[in-house]
Chains A and B, each alone.
Chain A
Amino acid sequence: KQEVTQIPAALSVPEGENLVLNCSFTDSAIYNLQWFRQDPGKGLTSLLLIQSSQREQTSGRLNASLDKSSGRSTLYIAASQPGDSATYLCAVKLGNQFYFGTGTSLTVIP
């Protein structure tokens, strides 16, 4: 069974800092990996989707990388803003199943 781990569980940074969130998975035979953000009481918003054949994807201040062989992905957020405060989840697709991590709760302090 696929295990997805996210470290750290919580992170607090001052506004303007660059930061990295980590996601690791045990089975490297994934189809893709997706990063989401979840705001309190709301559903998930897709941020970036990386196919298994890709190494990274970028959108604005966000950059996600994927290293399938080592079972790792990182989400890099540049110049963090208070509006980035949310829980960030990664999910991997393996066969017909999707496996989510438990998330990293990010707080950006003004």
Chain B
Amino acid sequence: EAGVAQSPRYKIIEKRQSVAFWCNPISGHATLYWYQQILGQGPKLLIQFQNNGVVDDSQLPKDRFSAERLKGVDSTLKIQPAKLEDSAVYLCASSLDRGRWREQYFGPGTRLTVT
């Protein structure tokens, strides 16, 4: 079974530029999550999708971050414009559904450096 795929693996941009990350979840997984992990911290959930609908985006900085999951499969996370404090690893995860017994499976992440 293929795992969660993410691209790119690394990205370096200047502040005020835009960037987009892509995630392809495990086949058949209805729920998709985007996390931000700043160095030395645990991941913070930014947004959660169930199929192509948003379940929770309470911690997504909506003035600069946006995410979509068209057709309920792949997802993109965009930052526009980027700030220095957005430097982090962006992790995508998926699970069969959002039930309490469902394990999350993570992709390798995209390391973003904003200079």
Contacts and interface: CB of A to CB of B under 8 A. Distances in A.
Interface of A: 4, 31-32, 34, 36, 41-46, 49, 51-52, 89, 91, 93, 96-103
B56 A31 contact: no
Interface string B86-115: 000001010000101101111111010000
* Chain A contact surface mostly: strand
Given A89-B42, A102-B42, A43 B104 contact: no
B42 A97 contact: no
B104 A34 contact: yes
Contacts of A99: 42
A96 B48 CA distance: 8
Nearest to B91: A43
Given A49-B101, A98-B45, A102-B40, A43 B106 contact: yes
Contacts of A45: 106
- Interface of B, helix, strand, loop or mixed by DSSP: loop
A51 B41 CA distance: 24
Contact of B101 (A44, A51, A101): A51
A70 B82 CA distance: 41
Contacts of B100: 31-32, 51-52, 93
A52 B99 CA distance: 12
6 contacts: A44-B91, A96-B48, A96-B55, A97-B58, A98-B45, A100-B44
A43 B42 contact: no
B31 to A, nearest CB: 10
A46 B103 contact: yes
A21 B90 CA distance: 26
Given A46-B103, A49-B101, A99-B42, 18 more contacts: A42-B109, A43-B4, A43-B107, A43-B108, A44-B91, A44-B93, A44-B104, A45-B106, A89-B43, A96-B56, A97-B56, A97-B58, A97-B59, A98-B104, A100-B42, A100-B44, A102-B40, A103-B42
